[in-house]
Amino acid sequence: MNAEAFRGVHLLRPIAAGVLTGALIAFSLLERSGASTRAAYEVVPIDMANVGGVSGIVRFASGERPQDTFPVNRDREVCGPEMRSLDWVRTADDRLLDVIVFIDDVLAGKPFTAPSETTTLNQKGCRFAPEVRILQDGGTLVLTNSDPILHNAQAYELIQSARRKIFSVVQEAYAEPFVTPVRITRGNVIKIECSAHEFMQSWLFVARNPYYAQVDGRGAFRLGELPPGQYRVRAWHPRLGFREATATVVPRHDVEVVFDF
C-alpha cells in the first residue's frame, strides 16, 4: 500500500487548546447528527518490510508554567483545605510530560491496540484520576465515583474556541459506574469538569487512528509502522496546546522530530 492511499487529506484547521440527586441520573447529549465528517478509519494490510517510523522528544523550552488556584467552598472533609492549586506542567529535567504525539490524517493502516478501546476515569479525593487519558474514537468511557459525596461530571469536545457538550452525569456517593461511548466531530480533545467542584478537571485525547503515543517519563515518543511518505506530526499538551512538524518517513528507519513547548 502506498503512502497516498494510506493517508487521508490534511485538514489544516487550527484547533485551540478549555445539582440533582438520586442513585444515578445521566443526561446524555451524544448527538446522532454529530458524527465526524471524516471517513472512518479502516484496518488494512501493510507491507511490514517497507515501513518506517517517527521518533523524538518533547522539550520544555518556554518556561511557561500556568497554574490555577480555586477556593474549596464545599465538601472540605473530602476535597481538602480551603484552596486547591492545579499545576498543569510536569517536567523531567528539560523534557515536557503529559504530551500526546499523533498523526491525525491517516485513514487506513494497522489496527488499534485493545487498551485504547476502553478507558476508566475515577473521581477520588475530589480529583479525576488520571488527569490525562487516551481513547479511540467510538471507544467506551467508564466514569466511577469513589468519593462519599456527589459529583456532576460534564464533558465537552473542544473545537477551536467552541465547546460541544457530550454528556452531563450526576453520580451520588459510590454510585454505579457511568458507561458511555465517546465520539468526536472535528476536534481531538475532550475536557471533563465537575460542576459541583470547579477545581476537578481532566482531559481525554480521542484518537481517530492508532498512530499516536504518549511521551514516556523522559519526554520521548515513537510512532511506528508508517509507510514511506510525508506526514504532518502533531503534539498536544492539555494546557500548552498544539505544536506540529513535518516528517518524511523512509523504509526501515526512524526520522527524528523534536517539539519545543
Label residue 116 by pLDDT band (50, 70, 90). Answer: confident
| 175 or 35, greater pLDDT | 175
Task: Please state the domain count of the chain.
Answer: 1
**pTM metric for this prediction:** 0.83
Amino acid at residue number 204: L
Cell 506540529, residue located: 244
| Helix-strand-coil split of the chain, %, nearest 5 | 5, 50, 45
Q: Could you tell me which of 182, 147, 178 has the C-alpha nearest to residue 35?
A: 182
Domain that holds residue 180: 3-18+20-260
- CATH assignment of the domain containing 209: 2.60.40.420
pLDDT tens by residue, 129-153: 999 999 999 999 999 999 999 999 9
What are 137's three cell numbers? 474514537
